[in-house]
Structure 1
Amino acid sequence: MKTLRIQLNEIKHARKVRRLEHILTKRKGISEVSVSTSGIVQLKWDVDQTSQDEIIKSIQEVGYAIQKVKGTPEDVKTDDDHQMSSRLLFLGENTELYFAVISGIFWLLGLIISFIPQIADLVATILFIVGALFGGFFTFITAGKDVLRGKFEIDFLMLFAAVGAALLEKWGEAALLLFLFSLGHALEHYAMNRARKSIAALSKLAPPVALLKHEGTLTEVPIEQLKIGDIIVVKPNSKIAADGVVIEGTSPVDQASITGESMPVDKRPCPDWQDKTIDALLPEYRVFAGTINGSGVLEIKVLKHAKDSTLSRLITLVKEAETQKSPTQHLTDKFEKYYVPLVLVLVILLMFAFLVLDETFQQSFYRAMSVLIAASPCALAISTPSAVLAGIARAARQGVLIKGGRPLEDLGGLKAIAFDKTGTLTQGRPMLTSVIPFGAVQKTHLLKTAVAVEALSDHPLAAAIVDGGTKELNDVPIPKAINLKALTARGVQAEVDGTTVHIGNRRLFEEWTGEKVPQEINEKMAALESRGQTAMIVGQNKRYLGIIAVMDVARKEARATLATLKDMGIKRMVMLTGDHQKVADAIADDLGITDPMGSLLPEDKVHAIEALKKQLGNVAMVGDGVNDAPAMAKSTVGIAMGAAGSDVALETADIALMADKLDNLPFVIGLSRKAKQIIQQNLTISLGMVAILVPLTIIGSIAIGPAVVGHEGSTLLVVLNALRLLKYEV
């Protein structure tokens, strides 16, 4: 089996999505077809039973132009059928809406004139016929294509009902049916288009050209021509053209379009940019295509081609996400599969009701047409896809990528969330946390001595001491150290101002002094270590100066985020880490983690997730998407932190938080719950309307007119209800 991804021209209606899915699924050798209204087709096909060319031909025969096929760089020619359809939209993309309005005007005029006795009935009939022609124009084209393929979809059924009403000389009702059906079609397209435009807006974020710097001169080139390693210049208040690393200049950059961050992020040159990949860069050095530069001029080394930029990947993944159906969508699809044939059988039986009831064929036929309209599942079909599309669009605007309807629904039902510790709940890098002088030693002297020695070391803990110590010392002069020696499993030794300085653990100082570490220092070190800090002793010429400690500290937003999640009803918050259990316990106490699990290997994290799922049901795993990938795959919903710039994180997760912040977690869980609520409301509206209209039309209490109003009204109502997700706020 192979997977194929095809980009079509936009599909205007969800019912056409179902039609294309149905056609492709029936083709030999094709399975697991998913189609989105934005025109993304994803399918699996058996190379022994069909070919890519045959699949493309099948799609073109239906009337869709193929823009791109994944794996082939060239575009595929559009077919004559699509070109003909495009020419029909001679008044722009809202042609169908204009036709519906014209249809409504003629129907209304006909209705008014029918109440004026002085004017012949023929005038009203002509107006109704003209209204029906405008209202049925696009319905006739769609239904005609369906019939030629041997399919009888909802457009055909509505057209059939309208023709039936006309044959019974109910011209007013026929015109009303086609007017409201075409209006519902057009408004559904318009409303759904609003959600799609939120996603399509992403495509317009990247500038078309960039300023390429070469041998001191600037040249304007299309972004597609940029190569990895090129240097581009970004002027103030202009868009950044490529993913890369800042090598010159400082400036705040608005990254809201990619990460959803509300405040600009200060960017500065990376000191060792020559050897860096974009995944390894700190946020202050890394920039993304489509973000907006602030007041300074930046020089950027390009690290990704335009087609591989974070923005391009985000656009592609969001469009693909639209094709992934939610559990509710699968359920409604199965329901429709059996429901529609039952409706057709019922309608046929009702057409022959005159054989057993005291009524004419015309009366039986009229009742059957009314039932056909009332029972059509248009609102049911659109209720879930519209909510999923709006939810995905709203999340994308916040800097959150949700890969389809399943994670969107599943997230709202979480019972527990498991977090990786390093880089998720914590900063992911050590920081200087404690400086404790011993005896009469001044804190400044302790810090100066430690920074001088550690400045010679390339150890990650040394960098934390130098950075933190330098900031705390401010402008205090730091002496120069020489002759650094690494002492395996103990610490380091160097010379400062003619004295010998040691920094390390208890073993180092016991060997150096030949005596036990003083009890006061030992107790203070033990207290620091019990809180998860890595403590080191600093000594000079066999004199104890004091203790310095470093730790991977919690993110500043972590505590508040976990408290918010607890308020939202998520009672079990689990931390999975390879660190010692003491460290895990200390961080858990600080943040409010309910279940700290330390000393875990990667496979232990997988087992922990499996156990939580058995115990609680739905469990999410939050990590960085790289070393946490196995555990994320086992969870109900895998959530990647800081996915911007990381292809691995984007590919691994069900949900990707583009910014390296936990803040968006409560937002996306709240959005999921709101989406589930709206889907349930939509199902109630759609099924409730059918449950009311069908019995009333069967017993003849309402005619075609009210049935049409109820049918089209419920369809439009569920779409508008779904669009409320676009305005969702925590």
Structure 2
Amino acid sequence: MPEEKLRLEIPVLLPGAADACERCVEELTQVLKRRPGVIDAHVDGREDARLCLHFDPALIAPSQLRALAEQQGARIDAKFGHATIRLPRPLHARASRSLADDLRGVRGVVRAEVGPTGVAVVEFDRGLTDEPALTAYLNNHAAALGQAPASAGAGGSRDEHAGHKHKPGEGNGHKHGGVFGERTELVFALLSGLALLVGWLASFRLSGPVPLAFYGLSYIFGGYFTLREAVDNLRKRRFEIDTLMLVAAAGAAALGEWAEGALLLVLFSLGHALEHYAMGRARRAIEALAALAPERASRRRGEAIEEVAVEALEVGDIVLVRPNERLPADGVVIIGESAVNQAPVTGESVPVDKSPAPQEATFESAEASHRVFAGTINGAGALEVRVARRASETTLARVVTMVAEAEAQRSPTQRFTDKFERIFVPAVLLMVVMLMFAWLVVDEPFSVSFYRAMAVLVAASPCALAISVPSAVLSGVARAGRGGVLVKGGGPLENLGTLKALAFDKTGTLTEGRPRVTDVVPAIGVTKERLLDIAAAVEAQSDHPLAAAVVTAATETLTAAPGRAESVESITGQGVRGRYRGEDVFIGKLKLFEAIDGPPVPEEVRSEAERLARSGRTVMVVRSAGAYLGVLGLLDTPREGAAEVIAQLRGLGLKRLVMLSGDNQGVADAIASQLGLTEARGGLMPEDKVEFIKTMREQEGRVAMVGDGVNDAPAMANATVGVAMGAAGSDVALETADVALMADDLRRLPFAVGLSRRTSAVIKQNLFVSLGMVAFLIPATIFGLKIGAAVIFHEGSTLLVVANALRLLAYREGSLGALGGSATRDKQHG
């Protein structure tokens, strides 16, 4: 069957937010696959984010296929909407799960996730509902919870909203409003504890109504917000942990154990307040990113400078950035030189020198030394910058939006604990009911059976379990964001922390992608200077990357500039030819000289060329006027610190580190040996890399792929975790990767892996504590442990898991291995 390929840009086919939605892209590919004549349809990121269509030209013309793809893309984009809606304050983990369930029940909602930090990510059918209706729905829930109205936050919805900037600390408080504002529940918990203490002290001297009155006050203050949530859950026919706590407190009161019941409510309400503190800390760490960009910019109009809001900046505007000011927009430097601190966006610890770009340079094509980002800090020199993106589309705004979406994604462990709770809570209620009737089987009073049942109810409530995973995941995501690493949710964070195998693309990831001349071997009777002069004179007229390396080596070695060759032309796949000083010059592989007329390659030249090839060099043989002048050996330059990074990853427990390359196996082996990799695979086409990643997944279970996010997108998509480097300058990398290293710096990778390892460890610790405490307390209370002791153990475990999760916000690079010098970098951007 004849086959041709057609590549179409996904952002054009799906012009709205749908280009970033896996569901929409998947539906588009499935629709096109069903069309007669289409052999295959898949995402191909080799050149950009594109849809690659394989088709039989005898059955469908390329123009027909293009029109069909555009038509179906427009239909899907018109059908599905995508919104990120932010509540002004965090939620309990249980409340966020309940709200997500409610959202999924709304007509037209395809998918909905709500994070404990108050971010809702919703995909919906535009024909059945719209974003204003969903925002109004959330506002109604917010009003019922005592919140301010919800808004399109953290960069707005993915469809059409502009960025909504939060001020530091805005909307981070407790979801319950009240007389003390956002701190009302915390104050109520403390008042409940105070009333309990006074009542307990009074019971030593007084009896009767006085201690009882203070215990009653403790019940009122400690149970007020818990009762509100329990009633709301019961209206929706949900039995949550709040309900279990209230039943246990009421049971203790019925038995006359007012102090123990009050202690339960004090600690439970205090635990609630601390859960919100943990969520607020994680949320504030992320919202601080949104506050980095300045609110005003100095825009140049002719010779005049005017102060405008950053939202008013248009693409192409020229802005003046004075020394020590924050950059107001993404753009390209056109005048001035300075060092810019990019740590807020990329995590780079050292300021990056900036200089004017060539006049024709765009933001995408400009070198890193010419490109600047909103929210970064200018150094001592004034800069004039040509704006490349509107305020709502800057790298910073998009990172904040994506992190907000990541907050709402549930990790595999979170999904497990959610399912566990849904089964466990009804099972606990059934067990408690059975224990209440134990007096019918065991010779004991009803009061004893009832007391035991209430104690078991306290012991079995999985409060610590409910908060253990989300608090750790959100703290980990927030800490990664502060360190210049974008992690898109708990799934990638957990997976990256449990990997044993990791694959790297070679060019641009482990190496600079800029080869250099490492060996100059002249033939007998030929000087090194003559060899380089003739080679550089010809290669200077070529645009091949290897040619640039030869010219650079000649410039550095020769005292005078190389001459200029004439009639230079490329011999595809073999080398180049030209005339220099009246003589014919050929430069290329050994195979070139087997295919052209002239004397054969001398044995000494051939042996040197073969020796260099075996050592991983790219070999260039030079012949002028029929005489062989010698051999040049070139090698791609490893990135600075790449070998150190590989050693650090080994120290973090990664056993298999593989390099994938399109270069020949000899080159791949040489680089792998130099860097300390466990293996290298050379001669791979992009589709070969995909197959190798699939094989690694079968062998290792989970594998990460590290690349630049553009030409490595297919392999990254097939890995368990795709890690993109240099994402601050690449829209494709930001969209396609599970984990994005904002700086083009491989040294951020050990930080990301180390943080993920620590997060995985904290999650396991929290699960051990929460489930272990339940496993200990249930039999202990059945065999006589008092409610008071059960309350202290139970609520103590909740406070312990929250405190353990918050430690991730203080994670320092190098904590899990010898990450030399990282602590210094951490101080600067952590």
Structure 2 length as normaliser, TM-score? 0.79
Structure 1 unaligned segments of length 5 or more: list them. Answer: 77-81
Structure 2 SS opposite 1:412 = helix
2:189 pairs with one of 93, 97, 100: 100
Residue in 2 that maps onto 1:189:
276
8 Å contact kept, 1:501–1:538: no
* Percentage of identical aligned residues: 50
Q: For 1:547-592, what per-residue CA distance to the aligned partner results, in whole angstroms no more than 9, with x for missing partners?
A: 4443322223222222333344433322222222232233233223
Indicate whether 1:406 and 2:485 are aligned.
no
8 Å contact kept, 2:473–2:493: yes
1:404, CA displacement in angstroms?
A: 1.6
Write out aligned runs for 1:380-419 (5 A). 380-419=465-504
Cα distance in 1 for partners of 2:308, 2:132 equals 35
1:370, CA displacement in angstroms?
A: 2.5
Residue in 2 that maps onto 1:628:
712
Residue in 2 that maps onto 1:726:
809
The one-letter code matched in structure 2 to 1:161 is: A
Indicate whether 1:485 and 2:568 are aligned.
yes
The one-letter code matched in structure 1 to 2:656 is: R
1:716 pairs with one of 781, 796, 799: 799
Indicate whether 1:706 and 2:778 are aligned.
no
1:307 pairs with one of 392, 396, 409: 392
Deviating more after overlay: 674-683 vs 87-96: 87-96
8 Å contact kept, 2:465–2:766: yes
8 Å contact kept, 1:192–1:719: no
1:16, CA displacement in angstroms?
A: 1.3
Distance 1:512 1:336, change over 3 A: closer
1:163 pairs with one of 244, 250, 257: 250
The one-letter code matched in structure 2 to 1:238 is: E
Residue in 2 that maps onto 1:597:
681
Cα distance in 1 for partners of 2:807, 2:430 equals 37
Cα distance in 1 for partners of 2:505, 2:176 equals 55
Distance 1:637 1:219, change over 3 A: same
Distance 1:30 1:357, change over 3 A: farther
2:120 pairs with one of 38, 41, 51: 41
Structure 2 SS opposite 1:237 = coil
Residue in 1 that maps onto 2:203:
114
Q: For 1:351-408, what per-residue CA distance to the aligned partner results, in whole angstroms no more than 9, with x for missing partners?
A: 3444555555544444333222221111111111111112212222222222222222
Cα distance in 2 for partners of 1:651, 1:415 equals 25
1:140 pairs with one of 215, 219, 227: 227
Write out aligned runs for 1:514-593 (5 A). 514-537=598-621, 546-593=630-677
1:342, CA displacement in angstroms?
A: 0.8
1:642, CA displacement in angstroms?
A: 1.8
Cα distance in 2 for partners of 1:359, 1:48 equals 63
Distance 1:510 1:444, change over 3 A: same
Q: For 1:319-355, what per-residue CA distance to the aligned partner results, in whole angstroms no more than 9, with x for missing partners?
A: 2122222222222122111111011112233334445
8 Å contact kept, 1:510–1:516: yes
Residue in 2 that maps onto 1:21:
100
Deviating more after overlay: 2-11 vs 173-182: 2-11
Residue in 2 that maps onto 1:421:
506
Distance 1:247 1:725, change over 3 A: same
Structure 2 SS opposite 1:660 = coil
Write out aligned runs for 1:221-620 (5 A). 221-270=308-357, 272-278=358-364, 280-439=365-524, 443-444=528-529, 446-447=531-532, 450-451=535-536, 453-472=538-557, 476-478=559-561, 481=564, 483=566, 485-489=568-572, 490-493=575-578, 495=580, 502=585, 504-505=587-588, 514-537=598-621, 546-620=630-704
1:442, CA displacement in angstroms?
A: 5.1
Cα distance in 2 for partners of 1:472, 1:517 equals 26
Cα distance in 2 for partners of 1:124, 1:444 equals 100
Q: For 1:99-152, what per-residue CA distance to the aligned partner results, in whole angstroms no more than 9, with x for missing partners?
A: 2222212221121121124xx542222222223322223223323333444434
1:293, CA displacement in angstroms?
A: 1.7
Structure 2 SS opposite 1:304 = coil
1:718, CA displacement in angstroms?
A: 0.8
Distance 1:527 1:228, change over 3 A: farther
Residue in 1 that maps onto 2:828:
none
Cα distance in 2 for partners of 1:334, 1:510 equals 69
Cα distance in 2 for partners of 1:31, 1:717 equals 37
1:684, CA displacement in angstroms?
A: 1.3
8 Å contact kept, 1:513–1:542: no
Residue in 1 that maps onto 2:76:
none
8 Å contact kept, 2:84–2:158: yes
Distance 1:207 1:437, change over 3 A: farther
Distance 1:125 1:487, change over 3 A: closer
8 Å contact kept, 1:260–1:398: yes
Cα distance in 1 for partners of 2:275, 2:569 equals 70
Deviating more after overlay: 66-75 vs 282-291: 66-75
The one-letter code matched in structure 1 to 2:488 is: K
The one-letter code matched in structure 2 to 1:96 is: E
Residue in 1 that maps onto 2:7:
none
Cα distance in 2 for partners of 1:8, 1:148 equals 25
1:192, CA displacement in angstroms?
A: 3.0
1:409, CA displacement in angstroms?
A: 1.9
Structure 1 SS opposite 2:424 = helix
Structure 1 SS opposite 2:637 = coil
Indicate whether 1:213 and 2:303 are aligned.
no
Q: For 1:6-58, what per-residue CA distance to the aligned partner results, in whole angstroms no more than 9, with x for missing partners?
A: 31313232121122123334556655532212222234556787666665454
Distance 1:256 1:179, change over 3 A: same
8 Å contact kept, 2:456–2:781: yes
1:478, CA displacement in angstroms?
A: 1.9
Distance 1:512 1:350, change over 3 A: closer
Distance 1:289 1:501, change over 3 A: farther
8 Å contact kept, 1:481–1:494: no
1:686, CA displacement in angstroms?
A: 0.8
Indicate whether 1:656 and 2:740 are aligned.
yes
The one-letter code matched in structure 2 to 1:424 is: T
Cα distance in 2 for partners of 1:512, 1:723 equals 70
Residue in 2 that maps onto 1:126:
213
8 Å contact kept, 1:451–1:478: no
Structure 2 SS opposite 1:219 = strand
Structure 1 SS opposite 2:599 = coil
Residue in 1 that maps onto 2:751:
667
2:159 pairs with one of 56, 71, 74: 71
Residue in 1 that maps onto 2:770:
686
Deviating more after overlay: 664-673 vs 197-206: 664-673
Q: For 1:384-441, what per-residue CA distance to the aligned partner results, in whole angstroms no more than 9, with x for missing partners?
A: 1111112212222222222222222222332322221211121123333333445565
Write out aligned runs for 1:78-89 (5 A). 88-89=177-178
Structure 2 unaligned segments of length 5 or more: list them. Answer: 1-22, 24-79, 144-148, 165-170, 815-830
Distance 1:464 1:372, change over 3 A: same
Aligned length: 715
